[in-house]
Amino acid sequence: MPEKGINAFRAATPLGYKLGELYPKFNTKEPLFSPPISTFEPTKKESNVPNVNTIPGTGVFYLDCRILPNYKTKDVLKFIENLAKDVEKETGAEIGMEAVNREESTRTSPDAPVVRKLKKAVEDVYHVKAYPDGIGGGTCAALFRKQGFDAVVWGKIDDTCHTPNEYCRIENMVNDAKVYGKISSE
């Protein structure tokens, strides 16, 4: 009896589409970061009904937001809430929102002493020109920045992070230890 309820999938679909409005709203470009923009991507969708002929009364999906430090997380969440309210009006569905993991993004200045020391150590050990680059996503440096410290993370890696065959090379780990040793000896 599909006519007797509100289809959660029919509400989630336009909301997922409307979340694309985050890109033009929070569109600052920061060349220090890779990528140089905030990103807002739907990711996991949880299972809701076990069979193909039942109208789902609930639906849960997740949105991965990697927000540049010049924006406040609360402002992004407020914008999402307003999009959800629009979809509620259009569909009659009730939409709830919960932040599963929420961190305020911060940055270390590219001119901070720790950055200069790291650049020099990388150049000394690896004989390459080093440059600062920020990433979208959480790192352990965020914990130190929260405490008011300038912090950086670094490591020589192959581009396999969060892939099925993620690995690290022992040679890189040894040389990375030399980099950190040079920083601490200065």
Domain locations in the chain? 2-91, 113-185
| Domain with residues 2-91, CATH architecture | 2-Layer Sandwich (3.30)
Kindly give the parts of the chain with pLDDT less than 70: 186
Residue type, 17: Y
DSSP for the chain?
Answer: -GGGS--HHHHHHHHHHHGGGHHHHT----TTEESSS-EEEEEEE----SSTTS--S---EEEEEE--TTS-HHHHHHHHHHHHHHHHHHH--------SS--------TTSHHHHHHHHHHHHHH-S-----EESS--THHHHHHTT----------S-TTSTT----HHHHHHHHHHHHHHHH-
Report whether CATH 1.10.1660 matches the domain 113-185.
no
pTM for the complete prediction? 0.80
CA distance 16 to 95: 12
CA distance 80 to 162: 27
Q: How many CB atoms lie within 10 A of CB 108?
A: 19
Instruction: Compute and round to an integer the Cα radius of gyration of the chain.
Output: 22
pLDDT score for 140 = 82
pLDDT score for 182 = 92
pLDDT score for 162 = 82
